[in-house]
Structure 1
Amino acid sequence: MESKTTTHLVNLLQACIDKKAHRAGKILHAFFLRNGLASQTFLSNRLIELYSKCGKIDSACRVFDKIPQKGVYSWNAILSVHCKVGNVQDAYALFVKMPERNTVSWNTLISALVRSGLEQKALDAYDAMISEGYVPTHFTLASVFSGCGALLASERGRICHGLVIKIGLDKNIYVVNALLCMYAKCGLMKDAIQVFGDMHEHNEVTFTAMVGGLVQTGRVMDSLKMFRLMCRKGIRIDSVSLSSILGACGRGVSGEFYQDDLNDVLSSNVHGQQAHALSIKLGFETDLHLNNSLLDMYAKNGDMDSAEKVFAHLPEASVVSWNVMIAGHGQKYQSDKAFDYLQRMQWSGFEPDEVTYINMLAGCIKSGDIETGRRIFDSMSQPSVSSWNAILSGYTQGGNHKEAIQLFREMQFQRVQSDRTTLAIILSSCAAMGLLEFGKQVHAASRKASFHTDIYVASGLIGMYSKCGKTEMAGCIFYNMPELDVVCWNSMIACFSLNSLEVEAFNFFKQMRQNGICPTQFSYATVLSCCAKLSSLSQGRQIHAQIAKDGYVSDVFVGSALIDMYCKCGDVDEARRFFDMMHSKNTVTWNEMIHGYAQNGRGYDAVSLYKDMITTGQKPDNITFIAVLTACSHSGLVDVGLEIFNSMQLEHDVEPVLDHYTCIIDSLGRANRFDEAEVLIDKVPYKDDPVLWEVLLSSCRVHANVSLAERAAQELYRLDPQNPTPYVLLANIYSGLGRWDDVRAIRELMSDKQVIKEPGYSWIDNKNEVQTFKVDEVQAVSGGTC
């Protein structure tokens, strides 16, 4: 009879546990106490389970404390309570105190540590479990694989993979799914695919892990194919798998679609729309996480109209929803709309978080609205380092390096710890302003924070020292790096090129290839620039062949550099042939070709190409007009040049600057139209720039216009007394006219003012080696030249 009563009470207690009936459970608990049943360990263990299910942790602990004889099940029950509510430290302390443990104890602890983000502690606990002779179960290994995935500890995961096979759990779908997820998170998709292929059965978790892993590693098309296979096999599609595939569609724009046959591949937005339709068909319209994934997909694809529609029909929104909309409009350079969403978000009762402000800052910076970005930044009570980086990046990108450096100093005063991004940004500003001493201080700060060997920071340091002319220091940074990537190599090549060490840059490029580093677009563009500076056509052609081999011929950046190289090496026809072959051209490409014609004295071709550029709808910029006006000047097309110059502001909304005026004055001077040149130079807003007067003085020499030459020389003496150019040019004019006394007077004036003419340099390209020669002595002013 007593046995039947106990069974009945147990059944009642189980019903309370199943239904989370806290009140009914308390009544039962009271009955146990009145009838002396509370001392029974079995009933007490079930009471702990009841209170745990109902979230009454204190009650569970009190029951546990009063158990007279605690068995391993009792300890496991209270351990589970602490783990369930995230009291990991208490759970760990309790675990240490346990007089007896079993596999369940270890599994409970390891699982809780992984869920709490303490993966390394979880793996250490697993090691202790194995060392004490316990055999892991499928629960243990699933948690361990999850921990390995979070830590990207692939080698540790491989060892556990071997154990899975050894103890015969390689057919357990729970374990194998966790194993597959681990490989996917570590980016080891080859291993993940192998595991996938060896599985006897798959479920939605398997496919979702595969889709997510393929997306993470940039294999967008493969992830879409995997999702289609999932649909064909009739695997249940849940909101998680749909969110994964929407992530793939959102990455399509910057993913690998361009590598496939575009006739067979629909745009990423169409794939996303199909996934959207499927989510509606499956009844997930109210799933907030999925709706946020939809918003993110449309925003990343730039389809803000569709994102607006989804957002407007959300049954409920979250901070994530608002953040996605703010980020989306920011990416579209619509900072005003992003700011409108920020205000609406606050009016709707949502509190902006760190991501909100970073998205808003990024939007303002992209839109060029740094003032609004700064106001938002200043309104933040405690901006994180990411927010500091965003506003610093805005100032740097906008060329306001002085403000960036001042803000960086303020960051130091507020004791905000810089990260690798902060240091790289501020080093960029130091480089742009040539602030060597401040750059050295940043270098010291990077060493203190142990970031000096970080590839990202090291590249910034190399760039800073390069711009400040300290190639040796840049080399020290490079050679002391524990490991190097292509960015570091590119930085050093650029360093040599920037400091007119083209031969060294070219040799360094060769060394990079010998070390097995594949050049990038930047590598090729820089070394082509070196070939152009050295007028080394043979080297340039070799680089062109390597570019074709590596598949960079269609890159606009590299293509423009190739055109520049051929033009500067005198092979303008080869440059034009390559120009005509290019599938896509930007303004830089057109400018390089027009400028190439100008350099090689083919003014008519330059003007014709300029007109073609206008006809194709490409908008000319400042550089375009410098190139075409230079061509007109060098080819005597004075009236054509004046016509183009006058059209700049009227037809193309380009304000003339110093270089444009210089081209026109040069053109008029070459044509002996000095009256017009003087009228123009008196109207120019750049009269105190020596370049204008140097150009005019050069023209005066050609046409022996002594009076205007003397005026130009006097202006140059005033503006830059140590510049030898006006002295030499005026002396040459005098010598050409046989006015030797005036020539002697110029030489004496140079001597009195200690003006020194630097020796010139020449070089020849001989059997792929460049040899440089220096003129050791300046020619004496005799026989007519200075």
Structure 2
Amino acid sequence: MLPQKPFVWRFSFLSCTSMFPMLPVFSRQRIESFATSELNSLGPSQVCPPYSLTFLLESADYVKLVQSATKTGNLNHGKLVHAHMIKTFFKPCLFLQNNLLNMYCKCGDIHSADKLFNKMPKPNIITFNSLISGYIQIGTLDKAMLLFNKARRLGLKLDKYTCAGPLTACSQSGDLYAGKMVHGLILVSGLGSQVVLTNSLIDMYSKCNQVDHARMLFDHANNLDGVSWNSLIAGYAQNGKYEELLTILMKMHQSGLTLNTYTLGSALKACSSNFNGSKIFGTMLHGLTIKLGLHLDVVVGTALLDMYAKTGSLDDAIQIFDQMVDKNVVMYNAMMAGLLQQEKIEDKCAYKALNLFFEMKSCGIKPSMFTYSSLLKACIAVEDFEFAKQTHALICKNGLQSDEYIGSVLIDLYFLLGSIKDAFSCFNSIHNLTIVPITAMIVGYLQKGEFERALALFYELLSSKEKPDEFILSTILSACANMGMLRSGEQIQGYANKIGISRYTIFQNSQIWMYAKSGDLYSANLTFQQMENPDVVSWSTIICSNAQHGHAIEALRFFDLMKSCGIEPNHFAFLGVLIACSHRGLVEEGIRYFDTMKKDHIMTSHVKHCACVVDLLGRAGRLVDAESLILDLGFEHEPVMWRALLSACRIHKDTSTAKRVAEKVIELEPLASASYVLLYNIYMDAGNKQDALKVRKLMEDRRIKKEPGLSWIEVGDQVYSFVSGDRSHKNSELIYAKLDEMLAKTKNLHLMKDEFDYKIELESMTNVLVNYHSEKLAVAFGIIHLPDSAPVRVMKNLRICLDCHMAMKLFSVIEKREIILRDSVRFHHFKDGRCSCGDYW
């Protein structure tokens, strides 16, 4: 029956068949029966050929056209059919409406699906199922759950598909509570035996970190299929329970079920995690894949080579890669990543990865963003920076520079090249600034000594939607440690407590170092004592911390306790022990530990270890032995060794040895100011002004400038820095007045000279330039602004001079304050006129 107001649609026959791909299967007579032409309204140049057809479709025809659009995913075709229904006043039945709704959902037009749903007078359960599935498809999980609850309120009989949708939503959102509610509803509705729902429940519990619940459900289910087994295997893989995964895999094999590529891929991924016995299981699975004839499958082959690469069998991974016939970009990426996953990448592996890239290009395989990320890592490993820049150009050409992982590697590259500006430019080009590129930028700033920039970026991160992890928090604590920013470090510790990261070992290790480097050794020791499972880094850090604060006996006690706990000392632990012996003059103990490191622990001594021993012998006056050690160990080309000996020459006023040693170190480092300054001071201490002036003249001729002394102090939430004679601070008059007041009071202490162990005359305090050294200005500022009960903590970039060391002891008496000063080598705790170093520094 024709509608009361028939609508006439004029178009060409060719146009009809192109818009509706199902139409050619109909008879020509049917097409001509429902089409009419509107060619007269179009210009003669717009239509060809001039057919005039009028058509009206039946419900079955509409259904076929809508289902065709759904199958092909062609939203435009589906909209044309729907538009024709509206314009011809066709009233679709519920079945056709459901097909239309399903088409919109499958094609991703959820807005149109919503409008259609709202106009449907009596939607049934199939209608709800389609729209719930559409919401889940685009990630609108909350609306999917609301629609599910609406279906329940309308009293519709729920089926397995209605319940499967909300379970998928709970899986993706991690909403365990809602998932359990749906599970209960399934049981009440009598749908518990449906294998589809069993599989969805296993997936939901696994993704909500309740894999034990998933296993219980699996064990008590009556109907299981291959998907059930695979879902449980995937759940074990997601939750890191790899041994249980392999156990269920063996049971699946024993049950006679066919292992497919998905199952074997999950199992091999578990073996890639390198747990105890993972390589043995992986080899067994490799044999099983060969037996099943799946070893040449791309998915399984990729998983196999990844497993071998991550378990240390790189040669086996390469062999599998070479055997594969049909290699795709994923396999190439896996092989490149396997070659570059070592902590220290070997040159041969890096070059192999570079060759794989050229092989991909020759085979016509288009590289992905993961390919370029690995390529950049290979370039960095072999220091081929020119090719790395060319790779960057390729990345920009392919529009991948905004990817977070590629951007992170580019940031590492340009920081390595020393170009902070280019690194920052790469950082700004990343659209989705996640924790990965932000961490790379912060680490880069720290490597370049840009601690304030690192902290500023961290605070910017806190104000964004991204949340820092334990790695970035431990990294930023290192910035606070280097800056000596105790208050900022404490605030970061409080934040870590709030988000539940403070118990991570990596964070606690950084926390120990932050407290120690900021002068609060008590809190550093307390943090270590509260650790549940300290690792070798924890022990090494607490040993080095006590050593730098002059607590040599405590450092050696920690070292012995570490060995009694069965933890093998590393290079850093021995370095801490040697520093402790050097700072306390424990010569025999230091030499014994040095010999133990080489003989009992089979460790190769590094330059820093040997420099500590040279410093130890030199301070004890054994200059000849120290020089012999340098030559015997083959470190005569290391400036740090000779500089340590030169410092010892100054202590013992050995000008003849100092001149020879200084010539050696100046020859090795002709532009380093520290050696010239040391020699100059040695001559001045010995009263040899003529030679001292010659050293100064040599520095002027070579245009070598002494590094300026810089001291800084944290007060409130700011860090204030000072240089010698600095008057740039807004309160400089107040600072200088306080300092002059304290210096004047020191002259009155000569009556108590015998009460304290003073080793220099107070008259040296009258030198005007020395009076205003940077550390004195910082201490005066701290005494003015800090509470009386708070210790004054000052950091300095150079070693403290003899005059300032004496002044600090006197200031601690006058002001009745503890003064903690960190110089470039160690800590000095001044209290009641004495220093923790015992004047042995």
> What TM-score does the superposition give when structure 1 sets the normalisation length?
0.74
Q: Could you tell me which runs of 5 or more consecutive residues in structure 2 were left unpaired when the two chains were aligned.
A: 1-21, 35-52, 727-768, 771-800, 804-841
> Contact 1:396–1:425 at 8 Å: present in 2 too?
yes
User: 1:290-689 alignment to 2 at 5 Å?
Assistant: 290-299=228-237, 300-303=240-243, 304-315=245-256, 316-332=258-274, 334-335=278-279, 337-398=281-342, 399-400=344-345, 402-403=350-351, 404-405=353-354, 407-412=356-361, 414-430=363-379, 436-482=385-431, 484-514=433-463, 518-583=467-532, 585-648=534-597, 655-674=604-623, 677-678=626-627, 680-684=629-633, 688-689=637-638
3-state SS of 1:331 partner:
coil
Aligned counterpart in structure 2 of residue 124 of structure 1, from 73, 76, 92: 76
> Contact 1:335–1:360 at 8 Å: present in 2 too?
no
Q: Which letter maps to 2:227? A: H
Alpha-carbon separation, structure 2, partners of 1:313 and 1:677 = 70
Partner of 1:24: none
C-alpha spacing 1:549/1:273, structure 2 compared with 1 (3 Å) = closer
Alpha-carbon separation, structure 2, partners of 1:643 and 1:138 = 91
Partner of 2:143: 191
3-state SS of 1:397 partner:
coil
C-alpha spacing 1:168/1:621, structure 2 compared with 1 (3 Å) = farther
- What's the CA shift for 1:306? 0.8
Aligned counterpart in structure 2 of residue 212 of structure 1, from 168, 175, 183: 168
Partner of 2:742: none
C-alpha spacing 1:628/1:741, structure 2 compared with 1 (3 Å) = same
Alpha-carbon separation, structure 2, partners of 1:72 and 1:605 = 100
Alpha-carbon separation, structure 2, partners of 1:742 and 1:544 = 52
Name the count of aligned residue pairs.
Answer: 672
- What's the CA shift for 1:465? 2.5
> Cα deviation per residue 1:579-599 (whole Å; 9 max; x = unaligned)?
334455444344333332233
C-alpha spacing 1:240/1:102, structure 2 compared with 1 (3 Å) = same
> Cα deviation per residue 1:37-77 (whole Å; 9 max; x = unaligned)?
xxxxxxxxxxxxxxxxxxxxxxxx9x979x79668999xxx
Alpha-carbon separation, structure 2, partners of 1:586 and 1:596 = 16
Alpha-carbon separation, structure 1, partners of 2:146 and 2:550 = 63
Q: Which letter maps to 2:407? A: A
Q: Which letter maps to 1:239? A: V
3-state SS of 1:770 partner:
strand
> Contact 2:473–2:492 at 8 Å: present in 1 too?
yes
Alpha-carbon separation, structure 1, partners of 2:271 and 2:432 = 39
> Cα deviation per residue 1:135-189 (whole Å; 9 max; x = unaligned)?
66666676677677777x4xx325423421320354x222222322333343333
C-alpha spacing 1:374/1:775, structure 2 compared with 1 (3 Å) = farther
Q: Could you tell me which runs of 5 or more consecutive residues in structure 1 were left unpaired when the two chains were aligned.
A: 1-60, 75-96, 258-267
Alpha-carbon separation, structure 1, partners of 2:632 and 2:185 = 73
- What's the CA shift for 1:447? 1.8
Q: Which letter maps to 2:502? A: V
> Cα deviation per residue 1:496-554 (whole Å; 9 max; x = unaligned)?
33332222333333344445654444443343332222222233333334434444333
> Contact 2:318–2:335 at 8 Å: present in 1 too?
yes
Alpha-carbon separation, structure 1, partners of 2:634 and 2:199 = 60
- What's the CA shift for 1:355? 1.6
Alpha-carbon separation, structure 1, partners of 2:412 and 2:192 = 53
- What's the CA shift for 1:570? 0.6
> Cα deviation per residue 1:469-507 (whole Å; 9 max; x = unaligned)?
222223334445555444444444444333322223333
Partner of 1:86: none
Alpha-carbon separation, structure 2, partners of 1:217 and 1:728 = 64
Alpha-carbon separation, structure 1, partners of 2:66 and 2:619 = 85
3-state SS of 2:272 partner:
helix
Q: Which letter maps to 1:166? A: K
Partner of 1:15: none
Higher relative contact order (CA 8 A, sep 6+): 2
Partner of 2:133: 181
> Contact 2:218–2:228 at 8 Å: present in 1 too?
no
- What's the CA shift for 1:741? 5.4
3-state SS of 2:242 partner:
coil
Stretch moving more, 730-739 or 703-712: 703-712
C-alpha spacing 1:345/1:724, structure 2 compared with 1 (3 Å) = same
Alpha-carbon separation, structure 1, partners of 2:651 and 2:92 = 93
C-alpha spacing 1:519/1:99, structure 2 compared with 1 (3 Å) = same
Alpha-carbon separation, structure 1, partners of 2:672 and 2:324 = 52
C-alpha spacing 1:346/1:519, structure 2 compared with 1 (3 Å) = closer
Alpha-carbon separation, structure 2, partners of 1:332 and 1:390 = 17
Alpha-carbon separation, structure 2, partners of 1:556 and 1:301 = 22
C-alpha spacing 1:441/1:70, structure 2 compared with 1 (3 Å) = same
User: 1:746-757 alignment to 2 at 5 Å?
Assistant: 746-747=695-696, 757=706
C-alpha spacing 1:492/1:332, structure 2 compared with 1 (3 Å) = closer
Partner of 1:160: 113
Alpha-carbon separation, structure 2, partners of 1:388 and 1:776 = 62
C-alpha spacing 1:277/1:549, structure 2 compared with 1 (3 Å) = closer
3-state SS of 2:608 partner:
helix
C-alpha spacing 1:176/1:746, structure 2 compared with 1 (3 Å) = same
Alpha-carbon separation, structure 1, partners of 2:511 and 2:802 = 41
Alpha-carbon separation, structure 1, partners of 2:615 and 2:214 = 58
Q: Which letter maps to 1:329? A: C
Partner of 1:696: 645
- What's the CA shift for 1:386? 2.0
State yes or no: 1:736 paired with 2:680.
no
> Cα deviation per residue 1:737-769 (whole Å; 9 max; x = unaligned)?
344555455556656766554444443445533
Q: Which letter maps to 1:209? A: G
Q: Which letter maps to 1:378? A: D
C-alpha spacing 1:110/1:329, structure 2 compared with 1 (3 Å) = farther
Alpha-carbon separation, structure 2, partners of 1:383 and 1:297 = 29
Supply the RMSD in Å over aligned alpha carbons: 4.2
Q: Which letter maps to 1:331? A: S
Quick one: percent identity of the two aligned structures?
25
- What's the CA shift for 1:233? 4.5
Aligned counterpart in structure 2 of residue 276 of structure 1, from 198, 218, 239: 218
Partner of 2:782: none
C-alpha spacing 1:381/1:738, structure 2 compared with 1 (3 Å) = farther
Aligned counterpart in structure 1 of residue 195 of structure 2, from 234, 239, 243: 239
C-alpha spacing 1:428/1:720, structure 2 compared with 1 (3 Å) = same
3-state SS of 2:340 partner:
helix
- What's the CA shift for 1:415? 4.6
> Contact 2:195–2:223 at 8 Å: present in 1 too?
no
> Contact 1:528–1:565 at 8 Å: present in 2 too?
yes
Alpha-carbon separation, structure 1, partners of 2:698 and 2:395 = 51
Alpha-carbon separation, structure 2, partners of 1:583 and 1:565 = 19
3-state SS of 1:350 partner:
coil
Alpha-carbon separation, structure 2, partners of 1:365 and 1:249 = 31
C-alpha spacing 1:353/1:592, structure 2 compared with 1 (3 Å) = same
C-alpha spacing 1:525/1:73, structure 2 compared with 1 (3 Å) = farther
